[in-house]
Amino acid sequence: MGNRLANKVAVVFGGGQTPGLTVGNGRATSVVLAREGAHVVVVDRDLNSAQETVDMIKAAGGSAQAMQVDQTHETEVQSLLAAVHREHHRLDIVHNNIGASLSVGDATADVLTESSFDASFAVNVKSAWFAAKHALPFMREQGHGSIVSISSVASIQAYPLLGYKTMKAALNAMTENLAAANAKYGIRVNAILPGLMNTPMAIENRVAKGHKREDVVADRDRRIPLKGKQGTGWDVANAALFLHSDEASFITGVTLVVDGGETIAHGH
Ligand SMILES: NC(=O)c1ccc[n+]([C@@H]2O[C@H](COP(=O)([O-])OP(=O)(O)OC[C@H]3O[C@@H](n4cnc5c(N)ncnc54)[C@H](O)[C@@H]3O)[C@@H](O)[C@H]2O)c1
């Protein structure tokens, strides 16, 4: 156990994960924050999945609790953050991990439906705003706080589907707005833009559609300049740990690319 986040209380939205063979970004981040001494409130709409993350943390000697919330519902987010503050008397870290593309029916502009557009907006943008809206009063009162949202390199690349690209770009803009408006309160707000990661969310969908796992992995690996390998949930988690820690105390409003060199090699 480390102590880079000793005594801090962290809320990780989407801290469970899609079932699969590897670790997801949200679960890995919950585990890494706890390993550095934070008490982690693992929030997910799937309580069993959140509890699995908590079990992993506790097995490693960390401190965590699972809570069930749909982050696209404002009142649920508000009540959860109020309950966490009531119990722990602080709220140091809010981590927004949830996000979706194909699973909410994302498509190109000509075939995307209004309901899928709205669903993409809710899961990729509104959820993070709800968390910020209801965390900021506690963070302002205590005079510090760190918010990190998981965006995607899709926001700066020629990503083919309209919803995900548009919403993740909006999330980057929201990060800058929140950072600028809350710097005077000592609150830092940053985003991470993962590239191709070997996580269940990315791989299992394609395997379920009948593609061979080895082919899916090899095809994605081939596109990464750094050692010809996708990143993992741990790479996103380590970037999140840095941004949430006091080592990043002069960093706010950044959109940190974590992609093994993919965007600089293939252009934006
Ligand atoms: N894996 C990649 O290649 C990749 C690349 C770029 C960005 N990302 C981003 O990473 C994030 C997810 O990564 P992951 O590996 O942790 O995914 P994951 O699917 O394993 O975990 C996401 C968790 O969020 C939960 N969730 C979904 N909607 C929710 C809601 N409305 N309320 C509460 N919980 C909800 C799910 O139940 C799941 O447990 C997303 O923001 C995604 O856009 C992933």
Share of the chain above pLDDT 90, in %: 97
SS (H, E, C) 13-30: ECCCCCCCCCCCHHHHHH
Rounded average pLDDT over 165-193: 98
Strand order, beta sheet including 255-258: 63-68, 39-44, 9-13, 93-96, 145-150, 187-194, 255-258
For residue 268, pLDDT over 50 is answered with no
Cα–Cα distance, 184 to 90 (Å, whole number): 19
**Domain contains 264:** no
pLDDT tens for each residue of 22-43: 999 999 999 999 999 999 999 9
pLDDT band at 99 (very low <50, low <70, confident <90, very high): very high
Number of domains in the chain: 1
The number of the ligand 1 atom at minimal distance from the alpha carbon of 122 is: 31
| Residue 145 forms part of a structural domain | yes
CB 236 within 8 A of CB 53: no
Residue 229 confidence (pLDDT) above 90: yes
Answer whether residue 3 is part of any domain.
no
pLDDT of amino acid 267: 54
How far apart (Å, rounded) are the C-alpha atoms in residues 220 and 95?
26
Measured in whole angstroms, the distance separating CA 247 from the mean position of its chain's CA atoms is 20
Residue 69 placed within a domain: yes
- Structure tokens belonging to residue 248: 């990043």
Residue 4 resides in a domain: no
Its pTM surpasses 0.85: yes
What is the C-alpha to C-alpha distance for residues 5 and 267, in angstroms, rounded to an integer? 36
Sign of CA dihedral 195, 49, 56, 76: positive
Report yes or no on 2 lying in a domain.
no
| CATH number of domain containing 74 | 3.40.50.720
Range of the domain at 125: 9-256
Please check whether residue 263 lies inside any domain of the structure.
Answer: no
Amino acid identity of 23? V
Domain annotation covers residue 64:
yes
Residue 19 φ then ψ, to 5°: -60, 145
| Residues with C-beta less than 6 Å from any ligand 1 atom | 13-14, 16-18, 24-26, 44-46, 49, 69-72, 97-99, 123, 150, 152, 194, 196-197, 199-202, 233
Q: Is the pLDDT of residue 266 over 80?
A: no
User: Mean pLDDT, to the nearest integer, of 79-107?
Assistant: 97
Q: Which two tokens stand for residue 241?
A: 């740990």
Rounded to 5°, the CA angle 93-243-164 comes to: 85
- Which of 103, 125, 201, 207 most suits a substitution to test ligand 1, by most atoms within 8 Å of the C-beta? 201
Q: Residue 177: which residues within 8 A CB-CB, separation 6 or more?
A: none
CA-nearest residue, atom 27 of ligand 1 = 98
Where in the sequence numbering do the catalytic residues fall?
Answer: 164
